[in-house]
């Protein structure tokens, strides 16, 4: 049995412990929380347990939140894809407007010839015959022999026609021949295609003519004749054919040759011009030297 002195000592120790506890609570600023626990222990305990409960709730709800996040990401990805498609369309429209602007500028800068705009609707798949199809024909005033050009340079000549379309033989075709003139020396020659790439050759240049790399080759406007399978057409004077990239000459020859590169990207042509008011002069009475057609 505890003695009275032991009970008294225990009580003193308890009171001292309680005093120390209250002092610590007061110095740490937790007195309001302790008083709240004394006044309303249930609410206080609930407030202490609420964060833990929220954490448990968040953990339990995590799968649903992840699914919602995945769905939101998929939705945003769809919106991004739609914006990318719209951006691509805008870029294509911008490129289309730029092409039309260049064509318009070229047409207005060359008022000496009447031109109609045509779309390229087909390309010859045979590598031995370089030609394109356009969506203009005799109903639009297009006729065989009419020159075809673009803002980048000479394209070719109308070869065949239908009421609503036409075939254009390109200047790079082996069978194409264009009377040309060098911009620097004014020497003339015959420009014909090589059948590949954007390259052409200019033959029959006098040996004394000064041919330099970079010379611009223009249509001479002359009427040419050639009897080795090349179709020499009539073209207005001053159309750009290309630039000289190489010169082949020999002192043993009386003529020289120039390699000509066109600025036209024939594989990507989308729109071209048909020059509808050329040829303007009727020279048929002079085509028969013996005058048999008169």
Take residue 161 and report the two structure tokens written for it: 């026609």
All structural domains of the chain, each given as residue ranges with its CATH number in brackets, are 117-278 (2.40.10.340)
Take residue 192 and report the two structure tokens written for it: 């014909």
Q: Is the pLDDT of residue 246 over 90?
A: yes
Q: Which of 87-96, 158-167, 192-201, 219-228 has the lowest mean pLDDT?
A: 87-96
Cβ(212)–Cβ(184) below 8 Å: yes
Q: Which residue has the higher pLDDT, 26 or 260?
A: 260
Q: Residue 116 has what pLDDT?
A: 93
In this prediction, residue 75 has a pLDDT band, given cuts at 50, 70 and 90, of confident
Q: What is the pLDDT of residues 273-293, one digit of tens each?
A: 999 988 766 555 555 544 444
Which pTM value belongs to this model? 0.62
Q: What is the pLDDT of residues 108-146, one digit of tens each?
A: 566 678 899 999 999 987 777 899 999 999 999 999 999
Q: Residue 61 has what pLDDT?
A: 55
Q: Residue 59 has what pLDDT?
A: 52
Within 10 angstroms of residue 221's Cβ, the number of other Cβ atoms is: 15
Q: How far apart are CA 215 and CA 210, in angstroms?
A: 10
Mean pLDDT calculated for residue range 15-23: 59
From residue 290, alpha-carbon distances to 136, 224, 234, 293 in Å are 38, 18, 22, 8
Among residues 63, 50, 114, which one has the least CA distance to residue 274? 114
Q: What is the pLDDT of residues 138-194, one digit of tens each?
A: 999 999 999 999 988 999 999 999 999 999 999 999 888 899 999 988 999 999 998
Mean pLDDT calculated for residue range 35-55: 53
Take residue 27 and report the two structure tokens written for it: 């110095």
What's the mean per-residue pLDDT of the chain?
A: 76
Among residues 171, 164, 170, 152, which one has the least CA distance to residue 121? 164
């Amino acid at each position: 049995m505890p003695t009275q002195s032991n009970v008294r000592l225990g009580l003193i120790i308890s009171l001292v412990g309680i005093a120390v506890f209250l002092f610590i609570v007061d110095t740490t600023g937790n007195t309001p929380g302790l008083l709240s626990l004394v006044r309303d222990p249930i609410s206080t305990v609930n407030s202490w347990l609420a964060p833990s409960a929220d954490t448990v709730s968040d953990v339990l709800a995590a799968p649903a939140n992840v699914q919602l996040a995945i769905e939101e990401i998929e939705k945003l990805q769809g919106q991004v894809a739609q914006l990318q498609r719209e951006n691509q369309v805008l870029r294509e429209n911008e490129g289309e407007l730029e092409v039309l602007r260049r064509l318009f500028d070229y047409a207005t800068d060359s008022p000496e010839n009447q031109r109609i705009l045509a779309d390229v609707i087909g390309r010859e798949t045979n590598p031995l015959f370089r030609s394109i199809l356009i969506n203009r024909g005799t109903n639009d005033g297009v006729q065989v022999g009419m020159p075809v050009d673009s803002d980048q340079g000479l394209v070719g000549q109308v070869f065949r026609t239908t009421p609503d379309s036409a075939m254009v033989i390109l200047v790079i075709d082996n069978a194409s021949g264009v009377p040309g003139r060098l911009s620097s020396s004014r020497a003339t020659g015959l420009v014909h295609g090589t059948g590949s790439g954007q390259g052409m050759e200019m033959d029959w240049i006098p040996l004394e003519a000064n041919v330099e790399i970079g010379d611009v080759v223009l249509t001479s406007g002359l009427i040419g004749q050639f009897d080795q399978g090349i179709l020499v057409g009539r073209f207005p004077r001053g159309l750009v054919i290309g630039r000289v990239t190489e010169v082949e000459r020999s002192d043993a020859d009386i003529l020289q040759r120039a390699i000509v590169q066109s600025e036209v990207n024939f594989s990507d042509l989308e729109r071209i011009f048909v020059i509808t008011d050329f040829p303007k002069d009727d020279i048929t009475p002079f085509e028969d030297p013996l005058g048999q057609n008169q």
